[in-house]
Amino acid sequence: MNTRVNVKNGDQLSILGFGCMRFPTKGNSIDEPRAIAMIRDSIAKGVNYFDTAYIYHGGKSESLLGQALLGGYREKVKIATKLPPFMVNKLDNAKKIMATQLERLQTNYIDYYLLHMLTDKPMFDRLVSLGVLEWLEQLKKEGTVKNIGFSFHGKKTDFEDIVQAYPWDFCQIQYNYLDENNQATKSGLLLAASLGIPVIVMEPLRGGKLVNNLPEKVIKTFQSYDKHRTPAEWALRWVWNHPEVTVLLSGMSTEEQIADNIRIASETEANSLSEEERKVFAKVKEVMMEKTKVPCTACAYCMPCPAGVDIPGCFSSYNDKYLLNDKSARWKYMQTLGALSVKPAYASMCKECGKCEKHCPQNIEIRKELRTVSKEMEGILYKPIVSVARKFLKIK
């Protein structure tokens, strides 16, 4: 496992961090024995950075990680977890959340503590006005929090405002070969680095979109260089090629993903992409951008929708239609979001309340896009067909 040094505090961090938002599941719950075994196995192979959050897996991710780190593992790793700003209206809320997090994680200190999903400077200012930063600084003096940072989903200019507004110990951004010019962007990454702020990268595979659902043309472009390298490997190598990136987070759900990622992390150095490999990426980006309609990463921060719409599901089906040139996309859309679901969740169920848009890190105009999805994926015959199919299949 390759490591990089946190330039701010000297921590030697594995370049692969374990994102704890996509543990394997059994039914609706985390498959605990399997997830614990995966965490411990990855530690044995050199992973020492674990990124969770108060809200991941409906609050169960922190508890699972705490459990997995019992028996001597805690001291071998750095835990990163996050404060959800939307749940903090007064300082007391933040204090209670922190107390719960320490309890769930079964620890008395958090190595890397982030303000979760800042999207603009007013959001940061609000937390400052509530005394959150002052309180975190106090916790840092006491040793309960070792490093104060933030994760970001928003526009480049907002990132620039926030990253320069406070002497951060680290920050976390979405970055991958499709998002070089999206959100914090490459210039944001370079700005953070120039300020001496270590950068943790999330969404290196854009919520799996850079692995699954790739157009044939993209796969062929990758294969034209190397038949054995997977799209995931290409994407990870692209991120690690940046020396400004300290840790890349991967939300790993299977043992195979862990084994693959660890192998790649052991082989990949900064500034190692050849000119030929860069050309492959340029071609791939061209093809992908032509075909992606809605830049949804399936993070599900917009969920649940009070009207029952599966927002990421709708966008995923819609995007797949173009990314994959999938002729059966409309049928799959009907199957998964309407006709054969116990709870229908298709786009035209949207009541336009706007609640979801406040939470979208990609700043997607969800209502407008859902109208388009409805128009393109449903059409006028959709509801009658859904109704007949449901009756036929005896679905209430």
Q: Beta-carbon neighbour count of residue 202 at 10 Å? A: 24
Q: Beta-carbon neighbour count of residue 226 at 10 Å? A: 12
Q: Beta-carbon neighbour count of residue 269 at 10 Å? A: 12
Residue 121 contacts ligand SF4 per CB under 6 A: no
Kindly report the length of the chain.
396
245-284 footprint of ligand SF4 as x/- string (CB under 6 A): ----------------------------------------
Q: Beta-carbon neighbour count of residue 373 at 10 Å? A: 27
| Token code pair at residue 369 | 């896009």
Residue 373 contacts ligand SF4 per CB under 6 A: no
- The one segment of 118-126, 239-247, 248-256, 361-369 that binds ligand SF4 by CB under 6 A: 361-369
Nearer to ligand SF4 by C-beta: 300 or 385? 300
Judged by CB under 6 A, the residue of 30, 136, 148, 360 near ligand SF4 is: 360
| Residue 277 near residue 229, CB atoms below 8 Å | no
**Which of these, 123, 168, 174, lies nearest to 150 by C-alpha position?**
168
Judged by CB under 6 A, the residue of 113, 152, 222, 301 near ligand SF4 is: 301
Q: Supply the DSSP symbol for 304.
A: P
Residue 346 contacts ligand SF4 per CB under 6 A: no
Q: How far is the CB of 310 from ligand SF4 (least distance, A)?
A: 9
Angle of helix 132-142 versus helix 91-105 axis, rounded to 10: 40
Looking only at residues 277 through 296 of this chain, which bind ligand SF4 when binding is defined by CB under 6 A? Answer: 296
Q: How far is the CB of 86 from ligand SF4 (least distance, A)?
A: 13
Nearer to ligand SF4 by C-beta: 126 or 351? 351
| Residue 152 near residue 172, CB atoms below 8 Å | yes
Nearer to ligand SF4 by C-beta: 6 or 374? 374
Q: How far is the CB of 308 from ligand SF4 (least distance, A)?
A: 8
Nearer to ligand SF4 by C-beta: 52 or 362? 362
Q: Using CB under 6 A, count the residues that bind ligand SF4.
A: 28
Q: Beta-carbon neighbour count of residue 24 at 10 Å? A: 16
Judged by CB under 6 A, the residue of 302, 323, 329, 377 near ligand SF4 is: 302
Query: 354: exposed, middle or buried (C-beta count within 10 Å: 0-12, 13-18, 19+)?
Result: exposed
Query: Angle at Cα 145 formed by Cα 141 and Cα 151, nearest 5°?
Result: 130
Residue 351 contacts ligand SF4 per CB under 6 A: yes
- Angstrom distance (rounded) from CA 248 to CA 261: 10
Residue 358 contacts ligand SF4 per CB under 6 A: no
Which residues make Cβ contacts (< 8 Å) with residue 174, sequence separation at least 6?
152, 153, 182, 183, 184, 201, 202, 203, 297, 361
309-328 footprint of ligand SF4 as x/- string (CB under 6 A): x-xx--x-------------
Judged by CB under 6 A, the residue of 156, 186, 367, 383 near ligand SF4 is: 367
Q: Which residues bind ligand SF4 (CB under 6 A)?
A: 296-302, 305-307, 309, 311-312, 315, 350-356, 359-360, 362, 364, 366-367, 370
